[in-house]
Every structure is written in C-alpha cells, then in structure tokens.
Amino acid sequence: MPSDPHLVAPSTCPPERAAAAAPPPALRRWWRQIREYLPDVLAFTGALLVAALAAVLLVVLGGCGGGVGTEGTGSYTISSSGTISGYGSIVVNDVHFDESTAAIVADDDSATTADVLALGMTVEVQAGAISTDSAGRQRSTARQVRVVRAILGPVTAVDTAAGTATVLDQTVQVRADTVFGDGLADGLSALGVGQVVEVYGDWDATAQRWLATRIASVTTPVTQYSLRGVVTAVAGATVEVCGRRYDASALSSSGVQAGSEVRLVLAAATAEGAWKATDGQARERDDDDGRQAQLEGVIGQLLSARLLLLDGVVVDIGAAVVSGTPAAGAPARAIGYWRNGQLVATQLVVRATTQVQTFVFEGQLRAVDTTARTVTLRSGSAGQDLTISLAGSSLEWKNGLSLQALAALVGRRFEVKAVLASNGVLQATQIKLER
C-alpha cells in the first residue's frame, strides 16, 4: 500500500505511558467547557470590537456626512425651517443650500423632484455644516428638503380691499412680498371663488390669520384638501386648528391632540358646510438635543422674559443676542440649538412687519433686453429662467457694470438681489458679476 504523506502515524507510546500522559478528569472537563463556549466568546468579542470601531468612525465622520440621520437620508448637522428666498442653490434663512443631490419630500411625504421648489415656499432643510465662501455667503449641502405647505383647498371668499382670501375657513393675508404662481400675475384679484390653491406662509396667532409667502393655483384634480397648524382644542366630534373648527366625526388618528402640530387631511364639505377631517398626522421636528437649528416664523406669544413661541416652538432667548424688539405678531428668525424640545437661541432677529423680503439669485446671464431694461437669468438646480427688471431707480451696479456692458457678458455668472414690485415683477436692487 503506498504511503500517504498526509496520514499521521499511530502513536508508538506504550498504553501505560499514554494513560500516564493523559490530563486529569477535571482538566478534561474544563477543556470541554472551553471548546463548547469558545465560539460564543469569540463572537461576542468580535461584536464588541465592531461596535467600538463603528463608534469611532461615527465620531470621525459625523461632520463629513457619514452615518444615518433620523429620516434615513444621511447624517446632518443643522435643520433650517423657513421660506425659500432665492435660487442658485435654494436660499433659506440667508443660507445657500445646494439641493442638487438632496432628497426632496412633498408635503404629503411622497418623493418629488427639485423642480417643484419655488420662491415663497416654506421648507424644512436638513443639511451639513455651514461654511462661508470668499464672497461672505453662507453655504451648505442639503441632505433633504421637505416642503411644508400651510393650506391646500378651494377659495371661498376674496376681499381685495382688505387684501385677504378665505381658504378652508382660514383667513389668508396677502402682503407686498407674497409670491403668486403661474397664472396669477394679477395677484389677489386673479383668485376666484371655487379655485383650488395652495398657500404657504406663517401663522399669526395674534391676528388669527396666515401671512402668505406664496399662493399658487392647483390645476390638477384634487380629491382631498389639507391644513397644517396647531390643534387648539378637541371636543367631541370637532377639532379646532388655527382658530377654526372642523368636523372630526370621521377622524380616528391618535396624533391629533390639543397642543400638537398636525397636518389635517380634509374631505369635501358636509351638508352643514363644515369641512370634514378624515386623517391627521402629527408634525415631528428634528429636535435632537444639541442639533443646530434655524427657525423662521411669527412670534405667537411672549411666555416670559426669556421664553417666547415662534412657529409653535418654545424658544429660549435668555442668552441670545437679540436684534429688534420681540413682540407678539412680529416676524422673527431664531438661530441656536435644540435642548429638551426647546430651541435655545444664540441669536434672535426680529423684523419690522413692514420690511419686505429681498430675494437673491445666482446664475448664468442668458439674455439682456436694453429696451425693456430686463435680464434673463438661469438659476437653480432645475434651471429656471427668471426675468428680472433693471428699471428700478435704486438699482446698485457692482463691478462698474452698466446696462450696456451686460450685453457683452452673456454666459457669465451673476448675483442679483431683487424685491417684488407692486405688479408682481421681480425688480433688481443690486447686480454683481461673480468672479
């Protein structure tokens, strides 16, 4: 039989010697126990090492986009809630957020695309750390942009003298800087009873009205309406949101409770004329302790010398640098961090109620009309073409620019600041060539 080099020769030790070399019974039992539990011990030790390594990586990568955030869109440093006031990257609370790679979420939690984002929309942005560019602009990369619509429903009344419309029994106040969507170039007077619109804006609890930042016509068929706001009361078969009562007889959601922020889904009116709520989802803010936050809205109430309500959130301004005088009904912006469900402000800026919004656009100059004194700027990740008037007497020309010089600069990038004129046209207040 040929020899196999892989076979081990049997022991040549005498039997009595092998027995003498065997370990004692207690040692053999101990060794059997080790062999039995060794796989579990090794697995547990490996798990500990993996967990420790993951913790180290989370700390190292936390400021670089690693990890997973609460919404499953990647880690983020700051949450910013406010109105879109510019394109190039979307501008919210004076920060330019690059939304080109962000997840865009519609008001009903469905996925959508960046081309729906429009001036005057209220949004919540989850983003990475904010940096400052060479021009002094604050910039960040958005991980997620969530659209936060106030009202979707039919117009039931229009009062052009008072500058208001009624939608879902809510009073909507139009201001000088309210943006109107396509087909509504004539502003409030273009609205008709029965027309379905979407409204974006801030709730003014003092005046019991919505201060509209954007109103747009809805042309696609709508089978249900919606309203966002704080539930002020739930009594029997009714729920009160933003000072108005709605039929809650068909409402079974446990998220609709007094004091909670909700998105109320409404069906057609009942025979008695009351809007019937069919569903309600509580609004959850990204208020993890220590997370940086920016919050824009209207001051609802002064709770104490250091606490106030802003957009339904308790804000602690005890250690904040405050610009302006906090007062109920005043628009404001708070910057700080979350702690125990409150926003601890490091800065609070209170605006005058008469101060209009300045819009900021960055983009490529596409055309110049020296006769009409307008420019066309391609701006935003979706490539919107904006026509901006240069006819204002207070226009500030930077870089030694002039209307005639612009014609030779088509294709170059510009930054244009503008306000809404009374006719709804964007009117430039400053134009600057980007180097």
Give the start-to-end residue ranges of the domains of the chain.
25-62, 78-147, 292-350, 359-433
411: left (phi over 0), alpha (psi -120 to 50) or beta: left
pLDDT computed for residue 127 by the predictor? 96
38-42, 195-199, 342-346, 415-419: which has the minimum mean pLDDT? 38-42
Kind of pairing between the strands at 122-127 and 138-147: antiparallel
Q: Which pLDDT score, from 0 to 100, does residue 44 have?
A: 42
- State yes or no: pLDDT of 5 exceeds 50: no
pLDDT for res 254: 61
- Asked if the model's pLDDT at residue 136 lies above 50, the reply is yes
Segment 185-209 mean pLDDT: 95
Query: What's residue 270's pLDDT?
Result: 60
Q: Tell me how far apart the alpha carbons of residues 91 and 138 are, in angstroms, rounded to a whole number.
A: 10
pLDDT at 16: 37
Burial of 56 (0-12, 13-18, 19+ CB in 10 A): exposed
CATH homologous superfamily of 292-350: Nucleic acid-binding proteins (2.40.50.140)
Task: Give the pLDDT band (50/70/90) at residue 284.
Answer: confident
Kindly state the greatest CA–CA separation across the chain. 116
CATH 2.40.50.320 fits 359-433, yes or no: yes
- Cα 297 to Cα 202: distance, rounded to the nearest angstrom: 6
Higher pLDDT, 45 or 390: 390
More confident residue, 173 or 36: 173
pLDDT for 56 equals: 34
Give, for 18, the enclosing helix (H) or strand (E). Answer: helix 15-21
pLDDT of the residue at 39: 46
Confidence of residue 142 (pLDDT cuts 50, 70, 90): very high
In this model, does residue 310 exceed pLDDT 90?
Answer: yes
Neighbour tally for 180: CB within 10 Å? 23
CA pair distance 29, 9, nearest whole angstrom: 27
Q: How high is the pLDDT of residue 318?
A: 97
Task: Please report, rounded to a whole number, the percentage of residues in the chain having pLDDT higher than 90.
Answer: 63
pTM greater than 0.85: no
pLDDT at 240 over 60: yes
Mean pLDDT across 338-367: 95
Give the tens place of pLDDT for each residue, 35-55: 554 444 444 444 344 334 333
State the residue for tokens 């070399």.
Answer: 21
Which of the four pLDDT bands, split at 50, 70 and 90, describes residue 9?
very low
Cα separation, 178 vs 189, in Å, equals 13
Using CA atoms, how far apart are residues 274 and 280, in angstroms rounded to an integer? 17
Q: How many CA atoms lie within 13 A of 119 on its CB side?
A: 26
Position 295 pLDDT exceeds 90: yes
**pLDDT digits 0-9 by tens, 65-105:** 322 233 333 457 899 999 999 998 999 999 999 999 999 99
- pLDDT for 195: 95
Which pLDDT value is given to residue 61?
A: 30
CB 310 within 8 A of CB 332: yes
Cα→Cα distances 349→80, 260, 283, Å = 15, 26, 25
